[in-house]
């Protein structure tokens, strides 16, 4: 029998992880310390959130029911628990990470040229392409104008949880956040050692208490968007139908289309937004067509 899977080793793993998280205060990992806590140190769900894994997955790890985690997951747990070199080696010896996933490549996503050309040809409909962790890979001009209230437009979740503009922009920000988190959880369940997921969840967990709370929940399905209600600082309220289409030529990517009902106030608002954001035509100088300026 492999010693790493002996019952004593399993029990030792649980004791080891519990003892290390009990040594850490919330403040030590950048979490707010509010109210009286029933357990010393960090809770399981807090370690899970900061490591970028689900609460149930970390519970299985701490209970010894998951003995083949990936190298990346163990690295994330060691980072959250702030393990020194000796403790880190001890953790890896007890669990023996699966070699199947140690060399998972970093996933670099780009929108294809033909998909970019497609959405850029839509002048009356906001559209953009997102990657498997909701990174924004491509946008058309009207989508840029629609989300111009946001300071940084690189990832849907970062916009929702880290940009103050989200509170005023979304008429129902809680619903948008629930859906985005549920979508990310489904992706994380399929690829628990994805480095981009671990990076994103780790950042959001440290910087947003609301995200940590939502990430600790278990979502059985992704709630539909259907209609998105928004408020733009320049054109006012909009109600747009949300469609998310899978890009079959690039698994994991989605084409997001936002449509207004023809003839509706939202359609008028989109048209106004398009005219406001339209690039000004450059003035042609007389010398550009080979002529000399008048009087010279």
Q: What is the CATH number of the domain that holds 237?
A: 3.30.450.180
What is the CA angle 247-125-108, rounded to 5? 35
121 in the same domain as 65: no
Q: Say which residue, 207 or 68, is predicted with more confidence.
A: 207
**Domain finish residue from 68, 95, 122:** 95
Please report which confidence band the pLDDT of residue 1 belongs to, taking 50, 70 and 90 as the band edges: very low
Please check whether residue 118 is in contact with residue 143, taking contact to mean a CB–CB distance below 8 angstroms. no
Does some domain include residue 286? Answer: no
CA atoms within 13 A on the CB side of 254: 15
Is a pLDDT exceeding 70 seen at residue 3? Answer: no
Question: If you average pLDDT over every residue of the chain, what do you get?
Answer: 82
Give the separation between CA 160 and CA 182, rounded to whole angstroms.
Answer: 13
Q: Among 97-106, 201-210, 240-249, which is the least confidently predicted range? A: 97-106
Does some domain include residue 282? Answer: no
125 in the same domain as 259: yes
SS (H, E, C) 261-281: CCCCHHHHHHHHHHHHHCCCC
249 in the same domain as 132: yes
Non-local CB neighbours of 53 within 8 Å, separated by 6+ positions: 73, 76, 188, 192, 198, 201
Does some domain include residue 214? Answer: yes
Q: Which residue has the tokens 């939202």?
A: 266
140 in the same domain as 270: yes
Is a pLDDT exceeding 70 seen at residue 45? Answer: yes
Does some domain include residue 105? Answer: no
User: pTM, whole model, 2 decimals?
Assistant: 0.70
Residue 166 has what pLDDT? 96
CA 236 to chain centre: 27
Which residues on adjacent β-strands are paired with residue 257? 127, 243
Cα dist. 219→185, 201, 215 in Å? 7, 16, 9
Non-local CB neighbours of 56 within 8 Å, separated by 6+ positions: 218
125 in the same domain as 78: no
Q: Say which residue, 230 or 102, is predicted with more confidence.
A: 230
263 in the same domain as 159: yes
Give tens-digit pLDDT for 213-237. 888 777 667 667 678 899 999 999 9
117 in the same domain as 91: no
Considering its fold, how many domains does the chain have in total?
2
127 in the same domain as 272: yes
As given in the structure block, the two tokens for residue 50 are: 């900061």
Closest CA to 64 of 94, 99, 21: 94
Is a pLDDT exceeding 70 seen at residue 67? Answer: no
As given in the structure block, the two tokens for residue 143 are: 């989508």
Q: Among 6-15, 122-131, 204-213, 259-268, which is the least confidently predicted range? A: 6-15
Please report which confidence band the pLDDT of residue 92 belongs to, taking 50, 70 and 90 as the band edges: confident
Give tens-digit pLDDT for 174-217. 989 999 999 998 888 787 678 888 888 888 887 888 888 888 77
Does some domain include residue 51? Answer: yes
Domain residue limits at 256: 113-277
Does some domain include residue 292? Answer: no
240 in the same domain as 267: yes
Does some domain include residue 106? Answer: no
Residue 103 has what pLDDT? 46
As given in the structure block, the two tokens for residue 127 are: 């559209």
Q: What is the per-residue burial (b if ≥16 Cβ within 10 Å, else e) of 146-173?
A: bbbbbeebebbbbbbbbbebbeebbeee
Three-state SS for 220?
coil
Please report which confidence band the pLDDT of residue 66 belongs to, taking 50, 70 and 90 as the band edges: confident
Does some domain include residue 155? Answer: yes
252 in the same domain as 212: yes
Residue 112 has what pLDDT? 96
User: Which percentage of the chain shows pLDDT scores above 90?
Assistant: 41
Residue 96 has what pLDDT? 65
34 in the same domain as 89: yes
Cα dist. 26→43, 78, 162 in Å? 9, 16, 20
Is a pLDDT exceeding 70 seen at residue 31? Answer: yes
Is a pLDDT exceeding 60 seen at residue 99? Answer: no
Residue 189 has what pLDDT? 78
162 in the same domain as 84: no
Residue 68 has what pLDDT? 73
Give tens-digit pLDDT for 4-30. 444 445 567 788 898 999 898 888 887
Task: Report, as an integer, the average pLDDT of 237-265.
Answer: 95
How many Å is the maximal CA-CA distance in the chain? 97
Is a pLDDT exceeding 90 seen at residue 102? Answer: no
CATH code, 25: 1.10.260.40
Task: Report, as an integer, the average pLDDT of 248-258.
Answer: 95
Residue 291 has what pLDDT? 47
Please check whether residue 142 is in contact with residue 270, taking contact to mean a CB–CB distance below 8 angstroms. yes
């Amino acid at each position: 029998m492999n010693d790493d899977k002996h019952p004593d080793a399993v029990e030792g793993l649980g004791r080891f992880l519990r003892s290390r998280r009990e040594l850490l205060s919330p403040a030590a990992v950048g979490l707010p310390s509010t109210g009286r806590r029933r357990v010393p140190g960090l809770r399981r769900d807090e370690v899970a959130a900061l490591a970028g894994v689900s609460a149930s997955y970390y519970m299985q790890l701490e209970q010894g029911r998951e003995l083949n985690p990936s190298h990346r997951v163990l690295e994330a747990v060691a980072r959250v628990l702030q393990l020194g070199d000796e403790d880190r080696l001890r953790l890896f010896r007890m669990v023996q990470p699966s070699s199947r996933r140690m060399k998972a490549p970093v996933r670099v996503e780009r929108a294809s040229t033909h998909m970019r050309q497609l959405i850029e040809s839509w002048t009356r409909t906001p559209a953009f392409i997102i990657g498997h962790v909701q990174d924004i890979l491509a946008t058309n001009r009207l989508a840029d104008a629609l989300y111009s209230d946001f300071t940084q437009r690189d990832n849907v979740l970062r916009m929702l949880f880290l940009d103050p503009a989200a509170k005023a922009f979304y008429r129902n920000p809680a619903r948008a956040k629930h859906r985005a988190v549920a979508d990310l959880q489904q992706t994380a369940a399929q690829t628990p050692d994805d480095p981009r997921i671990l990076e994103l969840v780790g950042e959001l967990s440290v910087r947003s208490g609301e995200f940590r709370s939502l990430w600790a929940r278990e979502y059985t399905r992704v709630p539909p968007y259907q209609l998105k209600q928004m408020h733009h600082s320049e054109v006012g309220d909009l109600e747009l139908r949300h469609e998310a289409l899978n890009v079959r030529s690039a698994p994991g990517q989605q084409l997001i289309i936002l449509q207004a009902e023809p003839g509706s106030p939202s359609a008028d608002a989109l048209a106004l937004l398009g005219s406001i954001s339209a690039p000004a035509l450059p003035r042609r100088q007389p010398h550009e067509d080979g002529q000399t300026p008048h009087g010279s």
